[in-house]
């Protein structure tokens, strides 16, 4: 019977698990170099992780677990993780999980992927957590290779979890934004024009991309204020937009410093009525935070802004607009393609394994309750 594959590190390689902010700062240059070589998304960049760590609340309930594989002074692999204590259970999750849409590892292009198994085992051996929960995995995420890779008796064997999320995109072969616009339904085009006309009744309407050197402070304050209104209306919360929080500004600064930031605004005269904080990577426009002034809701300013920046992106030769994580209707409305983001879970301690059993029981009960009405309807028809 074949057991799990466990790789042996070459003698020139060393494994480390960094747990302090000081060490995070020290390894940042080597990490950034690996990020560049590996073609990672911004969510795996050391500056993104550092910005999150500096601004995250309740640090007393969190801990860094940054897995590293070194070859001399050169980094070959990184798994950026953190622990969070919830209801007495210590959970190992992606670092900056709440502000990152796609989680994954970084691996040097010329490095044997099996090296990740040894790094993962070291993280498990070091411990400090009860269970592992890693979500928002793209279908081609390198982390999938670690499913079932742990050594029995030494740690968690990761298994697929029932939770999943969706990512909507605009992907096509249009020759520019105008062609994409004309491919939309007559009703969609009419709604766009009607929305612009309604907004323009009170002043001059302008769509624009903010200049890279333009002061962002007032715009970010406006975004946070509008998001707080939306969150309160829908009974949700996010520390990214809390009064006095510096988290949003810190993350946006990372995007700007890496040359990825694209902030689109819809203005009537000098007043901002809709904003989309985006970033551009891998030939794709990615929408990180979008919001609008609810007093203009009748004109659907968020929809107008989306259609404007989609056209702008296609005019620039980009091949995809990615709305990132979330299945909201306004994303699905323009989507031509969707991707399911999966999750994995594994228990390391008895408490963690019991938590997983409880989670499975809750999910089974929820599924049973949702299936029961349909079965009753079938019986009634018979």
3-state class (DSSP) for residue 225:
helix
- What does the pLDDT read at residue 223? 96
What does the alpha-carbon distance between residue 311 and residue 73 come to, in Å, rounded to a whole number?
44
pLDDT at residue 2 above 80? no
pLDDT at residue 8 above 90? no
- What does the pLDDT read at residue 366? 86
Residue with tokens 């979890």: 161
Q: Domains of the chain: which residue ranges?
A: 13-165+341-370, 173-318
Tell which residue, 119, 138, 134, has the closest CA to residue 84: 134
Confidence of residue 380 (pLDDT cuts 50, 70, 90): low
123-137 pLDDT, tens digit per residue, is 999 999 999 999 999
Please provide the DSSP assignment of 161-201 as one string. Answer: -S--EEEEEEE---SSHHHHHHHS-HHHHHHHHHHHHHHHT
Mean pLDDT within 161-178: 96
Please provide the DSSP assignment of 258-316 as one string. Answer: TT-EEEEEEEETTEEEEEEEEEEETTEEEEEEEEE-GGGGGG-HHHHHHHHHHHHHHHT
The answer as to CATH 3.40.1000 being correct for domain 13-165+341-370 is no
CB within 8 Å of 379: residues ≥ 6 apart = none
- Comparing 13-165+341-370 with 173-318, is the CATH topology the same? yes
Tell which residue, 56, 70, 71, 26, has the closest CA to residue 250: 56
225-257 pLDDT, tens digit per residue, is 999 999 998 898 888 999 999 999 999 999 999
Length of the chain in terms of residues written = 382
Mean pLDDT within 46-67: 95
- What does the pLDDT read at residue 226? 95
309-336 pLDDT, tens digit per residue, is 999 999 999 999 999 999 899 999 999 9
The answer to whether 248 and 220 have CB atoms below 8 angstroms apart is yes
CB within 8 Å of 1: residues ≥ 6 apart = none
pLDDT at residue 350 above 90? yes
Question: How many percent of the chain have pLDDT more than 70?
Answer: 92
Q: What is the DSSP letter of 129?
A: -
- What does the pLDDT read at residue 3? 35
What does the alpha-carbon distance between residue 138 and residue 141 come to, in Å, rounded to a whole number?
5
Fold observed for domain 173-318: Aminopeptidase (3.40.630)
Tell which residue, 73, 81, 74, has the closest CA to residue 17: 81
What does the alpha-carbon distance between residue 192 and residue 299 come to, in Å, rounded to a whole number?
9
């Amino acid at each position: 019977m074949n057991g799990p594959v466990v790789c042996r590190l070459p003698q020139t390689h060393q494994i480390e698990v960094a747990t302090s902010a000081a060490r995070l700062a020290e390894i940042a240059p080597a990490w950034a170099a690996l990020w560049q070589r590996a073609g990672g998304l911004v969510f795996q960049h050391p500056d993104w992780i550092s910005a999150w760590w500096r601004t995250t609340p309740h640090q007393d309930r969190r801990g860094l677990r940054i897995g590293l594989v070194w070859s001399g002074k050169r980094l070959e692999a990184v798994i950026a993780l953190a622990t969070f204590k919830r209801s007495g259970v210590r959970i190992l999750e992606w670092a900056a999980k709440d502000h990152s849409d796609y989680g994954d590892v970084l691996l040097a292009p010329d490095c044997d992927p099996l090296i990740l198994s040894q790094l993962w085992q070291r993280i498990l051996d070091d411990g400090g957590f009860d269970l592992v929960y890693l979500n928002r995995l793209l279908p081609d995420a390198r982390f999938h290779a670690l499913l079932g890779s742990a050594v029995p008796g030494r740690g968690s064997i990761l298994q697929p979890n029932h939770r999943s999320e969706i990512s909507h995109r605009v992907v096509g072969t249009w020759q520019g934004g105008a062609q994409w616009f004309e491919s939309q339904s007559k009703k969609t085009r009419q709604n766009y024009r009607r929305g612009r006309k309604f907004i323009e009744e009170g002043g001059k309407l302008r769509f624009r991309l903010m200049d890279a050197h333009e002061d962002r402070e007032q715009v970010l304050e406006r975004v946070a204020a509008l998001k707080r209104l939306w969150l309160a209306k829908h009974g949700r919360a996010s520390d990214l937009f809390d009064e006095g929080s510096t988290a949003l500004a810190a993350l946006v600064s990372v995007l700007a410093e890496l040359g990825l930031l694209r902030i689109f605004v819809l203005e009537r005269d000098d007043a901002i009525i809709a904003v989309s904080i985006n970033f551009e990577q891998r030939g794709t426009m990615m929408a990180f935070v979008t919001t609008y002034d609810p007093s203009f809701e009748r004109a659907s300013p968020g929809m107008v802004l989306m259609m404007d920046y989609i056209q702008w992106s296609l005019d620039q030769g980009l091949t995809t607009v990615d709305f990132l994580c979330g299945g909201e209707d306004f994303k699905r409305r323009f989507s031509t393609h969707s991707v399911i983001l999966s999750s994995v879970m594994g228990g390391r301690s008895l408490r963690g394994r019991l938590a997983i059993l409880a989670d499975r029981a809750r999910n089974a009960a929820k599924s049973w309750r949702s299936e029961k009405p349909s079965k009753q309807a079938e019986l009634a028809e018979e």
